[in-house]
Amino acid sequence: MTLLHFTFGSEPILRSIMGKHPDRQLQLYQASNFSSKIMLFDFSGGKSIFAAPVTLDILAHTNGREYRGVMLYQSFEVNADKQDYLLSSVKKALTSLPANSNAGLMSCLKDRKKSSTIVLISFWNDLKSIGEWKESSDYSPLLPFIDKSPDHDYFEELYNPIR
């Protein structure tokens, strides 16, 4: 998979998209803090089936391709002069994801040359595993980018799969 597409919407509309595309690897996720924030991910790769997709280029992945469980969505934005350092730090964190993570993806907005945002998406069996990873030394490469500052911005959200 080289591209990841997702879109936002109401659950009934997103489920109707799922019904029209049974051949695709589609999964609904609901934000843990906002019950009305629902995303539909297409893990099939290739061309988007969504009318208004968010498209990410996959730069790296790890731990297989089991896109299941709790999803941790992290977005890092830096000034252009720090992008290489950010890429290196995220790759290091990605390659050190523990065995109890289901999968990890590092991606960026579709036009990488115009984007200074890197997205790290990881999938976990439970919240405890995420907490343990964030407390470990394996997570430390990301710490310089977590706090907001004039040089960078950070966003994080947890999503739970909807069956």
Dihedral in degrees, nearest 10, Cα atoms 80, 83, 85, 91: 180
Classify strands 26-31 and 38-42 as parallel, antiparallel or unpaired.
antiparallel
Dihedral in degrees, nearest 10, Cα atoms 129, 29, 75, 4: 110
Domains identified in the chain, total number: 1
Range of the domain at 59: 3-162
Q: Where are the beta strands (DSSP E) in 43-145?
A: 54-62, 70-78, 101-109, 117-124
How far is the C-alpha of 9 from the C-alpha of 28, rounded, in Å? Answer: 10
Global pTM value: 0.86
Kindly report the CATH number assigned to the domain that includes residue 37: 3.30.70.100
- Give tens-digit pLDDT for 6-53: 999 999 999 999 999 999 999 999 998 877 889 999 988 889 999 999
- Give tens-digit pLDDT for 83-119: 888 888 888 888 777 776 776 766 765 445 556 788 8
